[in-house]
Amino acid sequence: MEKKQIAIEEGLFTIPDSPEKKPYLIGSKCNICSLVTFPKLTVCPNCAKKDVMEEIQLDGEGTIDTYSVTYAALPGFKIPSIQAYINLNAGPRVWGLIDCEEQDLEIGMKVELVIKKFKEDTNGNEIMSYLFRPCKPSGKMSRS
């Protein structure tokens, strides 16, 4: 049986079919007030109107607003586990895990979306999740 890549949850992000392609978060945009949300919604939280949200793809680039480093991680998560709120360039503030070393973390750091294997299921399929990683090395390595 062919092994597949399966999203940890449907409707949150796209899984690129080749490494050169960018992944996207699946969000929504209100066609009345232009509010952008992630995850996608059917009711606009600003207008309180139903069926005004259109599905859109968000490029997943943003900056770290604040973060927390956890040394007691949930099963399946590496320790330390870095969790952050990210202000996406597209608008929404989202929660996510950061794939980098603790010493490289910085508030205001630019991050991008990355889709990675979280675990394998019993059939060997790769269960994929989304996280964020620094866009470029932070340059802190030159610090002594």
Q: How far is the CB of 29 from Zn ion (least distance, A)?
A: 9
Written as one string, the DSSP assignment of 55-117 is EEEE---EEEEEEEEESSPPTT--SSEEEEEEEETTS-EEEEEB-S-GGG--TT-EEEEEEEE
Closest CB to Zn ion among residues 5, 42: 42
Closest CB to Zn ion among residues 34, 66: 34
Q: How far is the CB of 47 from Zn ion (least distance, A)?
A: 3
Q: How far is the CB of 51 from Zn ion (least distance, A)?
A: 11
Closest CB to Zn ion among residues 3, 49: 49
**82 - beta bridge partners?**
69
Within 10 Å of residue 10's Cβ, how many Cβ atoms?
Answer: 8
Q: What is the dihedral of CA 29, 30, 34, 36, to 10 degrees?
A: -40
Interface ranges with Zn ion (CB under 5 A): 30, 32-33, 35, 44, 46-47
Q: How far is the CB of 118 from Zn ion (least distance, A)?
A: 33
**Amino acid in the structure at residue 26:** I
CA distance 141 to 143: 5
Closest CB to Zn ion among residues 25, 44: 44
For the record, the structure tokens of 28 come out as: 């929504």
